[in-house]
Each structure stands twice: as structure tokens, then as C-alpha cells.
Structure 1
Amino acid sequence: MEIFILAFFALGYLVLAGADIGVGMLLPYLGRSSAERREVIAAIAPFFLGNEVWLVATGGVLAGLFPELEGELLSGNYSLFVVLLVSWVVRDMGLWLRGRLPGARWQHWCDGAVVAGSWGLALSWGMLLGHVLTGIDGPLALLPALVVAALFATHGLAFATLRLRGEPHRRASVLSGLSGGAGEARTYALTATALATVGVLAGLRLPLAAGTSGALLTPVILALIPLLVAAQAWVWWTFRHRVTGPSYL
């Protein structure tokens, strides 16, 4: 049961947060003007904080139920996790501060932080997943990382076609080869499945030996999972329509 709990949160993060990471990676392509970039950011604004909860939950499950695996991942990839956390902070800083001060230069700096942080997150996760899957170290480790990052970007495009309108929607649709509403939902499901598959394959190569605290923590986590799923479903239902203007960010 502990393995399924870890998989639930880790795969949930990859699929849900993978979309806003991918949108951030392609912000300059999707939004050519400041107004368009605000609409692109508005597409992920209601979701990105809730998506990050899945990563926090994954870390908590690792620490509580799989302490040996947590120690192995952290000790063997310390610098990579530092880059990941810095990218996380930079990306969120750009999102939160973009609309707090006037001026095109400030907005350009914040947009750059969103793009750089998003690419940092995608490549960091790509390096980690690629290392687990292939065991490749050194400069060649960048190759699987780029493949995973491209998958994040594709997933972000699929999400963007569901949320955007006008020219940003057209750009996302052209690059992802989409042509209509049914195709957009189908493509999002395909990219989500691809990301989840990468996560499953990486998980199968990890030493998933649970610790001794499962008897206490597992019932508590199982009781909280329906609340998390219900909150996520409510957010998606509330913001199911396409973006019609800039958000609070």
C-alpha cells in the first residue's frame, strides 16, 4: 500500500505540475507581447500552487514511509536538488512579482525568471529521472534530461490549448498538431500518460522498501487523499473555461 501512495502523489505531481512547468518553458513562444504573456500566465495561475502541494506531499511520503530511499536520493543527488529548489523559487518569484511593480523592464525580468525557473525544473527532473532510468552520469546525462524536458514542454502545450484563446491558442495548436476541442483533450491525455509512464518506469528501478512507520501513517494519508482529490477536482471544475483576460499575477 505504501508504494501505491508514493506513486499516487509522485505521478500526480508529474502530470499536474508538468503542465504549468511546460507552459512556463514556452512563455516567450506562446505570448509575444506583454498582454499575451499575462494571459498565458493566467492559464496556469489557478493551478500552480495546488500542483506544488503534490510535490510537498511526495516529499512527506518519502520522509515518513521510505526514509532509506529518501536518504539515498538526497545524498546521491544533492547538487541536483539544490538546482531544483532554486529553480522552483525563481519560477514562483517571477510569477508572484510580475504584476507587483509597473514597467516593461520589470515585467521582462519576471518573465525571464519564469522561463529560466521552468527550464531549470524541467531539466532537473529530467536529470533525476534520466539517472534513475539509465544510470548515465556526466555530460551524457543531459541527453535523457532534454528528452524529459521536451516531454514537459509538449505537455504544457497540450494544456495551453485547453486554456488559451486567440493567437496564443493558435501557436500552441500549431506546434502540437491539434485541430479541435476533442483533439486537444485527447492530446492532453496522451502527454499526461507519457509523463506518468516515465515516472512509473523510474519507480520500478528504485529500491522501494518501506520503513516501519507505515502502520501509523498510512491510515492518516489514506484518509486525507479524498480531500486532496476533491479540492483538485473543484479547482479544475471552477476554472474549466478558457482564459478571457489577465489574472491577479
Structure 2
Amino acid sequence: MELTTVWFILITVLWIGYLALEGFDFGVGMLLPVLAKGETERRVLYNTVGPVWDGNEVWVLVAGGATFAAFPNWYATMFSGFYLALLLILVALIVRNLAFEYRGKRTDPVWRARWDAALTVGSFVPALLWGVALANVVRGVPIDADQEFTGSLLTLLNPFGLLGGLVTLTVFLTHGAIFISLKTDGDIRHRARAFALRTGVVAAVLAVAFLLWAQAMTGSALSGVLFVLGALALVGGLVAIWRGREGWAFTGTFASIACVVAGLFAALFPDVMPSSTSAAYSLTTTNAAATHYTLVVMTVVALVFTPIVLAYQAWSYWVFRRRLTVHHIPADVPGVSHA
């Protein structure tokens, strides 16, 4: 197997990790005003993702860095063409991260309400726009002979792209609700399970429509198999949450996101960014790749450090595996973030 193909697969895995892990973070943030009744329950929701949210974001940083190093032409075209969309995502992530850090610095209700709103909006925007961006990468965008994007932000807001955004939005809401039901107990847990069932049905309908459209547009045999597995995993997750099996439900939505993202990248390959102007202008794993020496060095680095990173993140999830209830939340201590 060529190194360009290896790195295409590795970048796919990085995006799977990011969207499957950060996806439930986004879901928890968006559900804060929906599921939490009172200050103590809001602090419970903050604490469900408090120990892991920053680790989950590492995946997108590594995915961006890997794309820059392995496929510099892909990185340049994508980040210049999707500049405004990615800028909105970046600003939203910054605001969201500040909410985690600063909400608990003061006990003033107005102060906390503003940071709660920042967390919700900062979770909603990337949950929607990542889907729009990924759908457009698969669909193809206007690229000229110089490998330059010739469209605008409105080019990305096409029906297929918007449907992709709605899919990620609703799937992340479902994923987040299931995660809350897995990590909490008491009234919040029951409300989260009920919400997951309602939004999961909507997510399933939107996802099936999106996947059928994607398969008809640019799918392959492999992407078709992965799409079917993704749909079955989502349905299995909804059945599990209906039966009160939160662990299996979370496994189902996690597997669904993984299969769908893998399927979209499989439908994309060997292109990395198709051109809707002319197929001759499309970026591929060959014409967008870095030098062979660069790929060899990156492969060695990845083989050394990837197991370390995975082991550390698995350990952190194991340490913070217990369920949370309102009884675990101590009295307010000014200056201590989401304590």
C-alpha cells in the first residue's frame, strides 16, 4: 500500500475520533438549557464532559496538522476555500472553551447565564458547520486549474451541504443525550433518555436521506457497505436506549458516526477534494501529497506517539467513568471552575 493511501486512511481515522468524541461534547453543550433544571443540574452537565473535552479537541488539531504535512495542497485549497466557515467554527470553539474555564470563576447568576449561552452557541455552530463542510468536500466544490477555490461561502450552503449539517447536528444531539444518560443518574438521566429517543428518530430519517443521496452521487461498494452499517448502528443505539441500555446505546451512536465518516471518505477516495468545475482539476491523494521523504518521517513519528496518546486518553476516560448525580456537586466555591 502506498504511503499516500496510508495517510489518507490515518486522516480518516483522526476525523472519526474527533467527530465521535467531540460530537457528544457538542451535544452536551447544546442540551444544557434543555435538560438541566436549576444551577446544580447545570453543574452536573458541565462535569460530565469537564475532564475530557479538551482531550477530545486534540483530535482535530492532529487531523489538521496531518493534512498540512501529508497533503499540503489539499490543506491549502480547503482552508482557503472554506475560510469563513472554518473561522466561524474556530471562534465558536474559542468561546465554548472559555465557558468551561470561566463560568465557575464567579457565583453571579448573570455571569454564569452568559457563559452557559456561550457554551450552547459555541457547541451549536461547529455541530452544524462541520457537517456542511464535510458534505461539500465529498460533493465537490469549484476548483480551477491552479488548485484554487473559486466559490464563496454561499457556494457551501447548497441543499446537500445543509442536509449534511442537519445530520451532524441531530446526530450529535442524540449522541450527547445518550452520553448524559450514561454519565448521570436521577432525573437528568431519565430526561436525557427520553430526549435521545425523540431526536434520534429525526436524526435517523435525515441520515438515511443524506446517505442515500451521497451514495447516489459519488458512492462506491465500500462506502455503501459502511453507510448501511452506520444506519444499522444508529438504529441499534436507539433500540438500546429505549431498553435502558445506555452503554450499548452509546456504542451504537459512536459506531454509527465512525461508519458514516469512514463511508464518506471511502466515497471520496482517491480524490481528497473533487472539483465541480472539471474532474481534471480535482485534488487527489497523488497530486495533493507531500514528498515521499516527508511521508516516511511522519509515519515513523505516528507509529511512536499514537499508541501513547491513545493510552493516555483511554486512561483518562477510565478514571472518570463513574456516574454523576446532584449529590456529587459540592457547594459553590468562587474562583473554582464548574466545581
| 1:141-188 deviation per Cα after TM superposition (whole angstroms, max 9, x unaligned) | 32321121111111111111110111111111112242566x211211
- Which residue, 172, 193, 201 being the options, matches 2:263? 201
Query: Would you say 1:80 and 2:101 are equivalent positions?
Result: no
Out of 118, 138, 148, the position equivalent to 2:157 is 138
Which residue matches 1:15? 20
- Identity percentage over the alignment? 33
Stretches (4+) displaced over 6 A? none
Task: Name the structure 2 match of 1:211.
Answer: 290
Which piece of structure 1 moves more, 218-227 or 123-132?
Answer: 123-132
Relative contact order, higher structure (CA 8 A, sep 6+): 1
With structure 1 as the length reference, what TM-score do the two structures score?
0.93
CA distance in 2, matches of 1:84, 1:240: 29
SS in 1 for 2:104: coil
Aligned partners of 1:130, 1:246: CA distance in 2, in Å?
Answer: 41
Report the Cα offset of residue 242 of structure 1. Answer: 0.6
- Contact 2:14–2:60, Cα closer than 8 Å, also in 1: yes
In the alignment, structure 1 residue 66 sits paired with structure 2 residue 71: yes
Match of 2:47 in 1: 42
Amino acid at match of 1:14: L
Question: TM-score w.r.t. structure 2 length?
Answer: 0.69
Larger Rg, first or second structure (1 or 2)? 2
Structure-2 residue corresponding to 1:153 = 173
Question: Which deviates the most, 119-128 or 185-194?
Answer: 185-194
Name the residue aligned to 1:105.
110
CA contact (8 A) 2:23 2:175 kept: yes
Letter in 2 for 1:113: A
Query: For 1:20-62, what per-residue CA distance to the aligned partner results, in whole angstroms no more than 9, with x for missing partners?
Result: 1111111111212111111011000011011011111111111
1:98–1:107: 8 Å Cα contact kept in structure 2? yes
1:26 aligned residue (14, 25, 31): 31
| 2:183 pairs with one of 163, 168, 172 | 163
Tell me how far apart the structure 2 counterparts of residues 154 and 203 of structure 1 sit (CA, whole Å): 23
Q: 2:94: which partner in 1? A: 89
Contact 1:88 1:117 in 2 (8 A): yes
The count of residues paired between Structure 1 and Structure 2 equals 248
Which of residues 160, 182, 189 in structure 1 aligns to 2:251?
A: 189
**3-state SS, counterpart of residue 240 of structure 1:** coil
- Name structure 2 gaps, 5 residues minimum: 1-5, 141-154, 198-240, 273-283, 331-336
Q: Are 2:132 and 2:156, in contact at CA under 8 Å, matched by a contact in 1?
A: no
1:5 aligns with 2:10: yes
In the alignment, structure 1 residue 228 sits paired with structure 2 residue 309: yes
| Superposed CA RMSD | 1.8
2:322 corresponds to which of 241, 244, 249: 241
Distance in 1 of aligned mates of 2:158 and 2:40: 39
Asked whether the 8 Å contact 1:133–1:201 carries over to 2, the reply is no
CA distance in 2, matches of 1:202, 1:78: 22
